Amino acid sequence: MGAMRPTVLLFDIDGTLVTTGGAGRRSMDFAFEQLHGRRDACDSFSMSGMTDRAIVRKALNIIGAEDSTGAIDAVIAAYLAHLTEEVRRVDDQRYRVFPGMREAVLEARSRTGFAVGLGTGNVREGARVKLERVGIYDQFAFGGFGCDAEDRVELIRCGAKAGAALLGAPVDDCRVVVIGDTPKDVHAARGIGAECIGVGTGTYTAEALLKAGANVAYPDFTHREAMTVLLGGR
């Protein structure tokens, strides 16, 4: 077997690493109610796999409000203020790390030649708030975030480049793997030529993620093959 390429792992958050018991959705609704008097702004579409800024832009368009950078920034700021409180309120039964994920992150971090980061539509501060609740934010040294790019392909590209820089290798020489729970994660991975491991812990089944183009997909990360594939056969 040849030498393993330097490997960048990019984990999605919502539906992949954790479930927040709806804290993020409620916080977005409260932000729109606070600033625009419309708690229903996001009711007509699914947020799954969308970046925070794309969610806000779409909701602003739906309610007929301007979608300038300043208007989006204002909603994001209000959202983050509500998120801190909502995350605190959810009980431990509803706010948890999905099976196998904590172990997968720790195992990958222990391996030489691996950079373990986030690839998420959450803005960086939102990612921190959500993951600190379950004690894993400090396990991720870098990431591609919703504040890096509104388009998911581009934020995944940002994460891949950041991971490659940590490994001291050109990104084109790295194996990049996106771990996610939605077709948008799959499409973003394919958009930069990365692998995608799908997990059926969110809205979509493993079968749906395979159909969307994931290289492999499992019901959750306790599947016997998941860790082996994540680590590239090591």
pLDDT in tens, 219-230: 999 999 999 999
List phi, psi (to 5°) of 32: -70, -35
Lowest mean pLDDT among 3-7, 14-18, 53-57, 227-231: 3-7
Q: CA 183 to CA 188: how far, in whole Å? A: 9
Smallest CA-to-CA distance from 60 within 28, 95, 101 is with 28
Query: Given a cut of 60, is residue 2 above it in pLDDT?
Result: no
Q: CA 60 to CA 19: how far, in whole Å? A: 26
One DSSP character per residue, 121-173 reads SS-HHHHHHHHHTTT-GGG-S-EE-TTT-SSHHHHHHHHHHHHHHHHTS-GGG
At 116, the amino acid letter reads V
Query: Given a cut of 50, is residue 119 above it in pLDDT?
Result: yes
Counting residues of the chain whose pLDDT is more than 90, the rounded percentage is: 97
Mean pLDDT, residues 14-31 taken together: 97
The tokens of 82 are what? Answer: 């509500």
> What does the pLDDT read at residue 63?
97
| pTM of the predicted structure, to 2 decimals | 0.96
Mean pLDDT, residues 199-207 taken together: 97
> What does the pLDDT read at residue 233?
72
Q: CA 234 to CA 200: how far, in whole Å? A: 24
pLDDT digits (tens, 9 = 90+) for 124-157: 999 999 999 999 999 999 999 999 999 999 999 9
Query: If you average pLDDT over every residue of the chain, what do you get?
Result: 96
Question: What band does 3 get if pLDDT is binned at 50, 70 and 90?
Answer: low
pLDDT digits (tens, 9 = 90+) for 158-185: 999 999 999 999 999 999 999 999 999 9
User: Domain 7-20+94-230 falls in which CATH fold?
Assistant: Rossmann fold (3.40.50)
Smallest CA-to-CA distance from 131 within 14, 10, 9, 230 is with 14
> What does the pLDDT read at residue 34?
97
Mean pLDDT, residues 68-76 taken together: 97
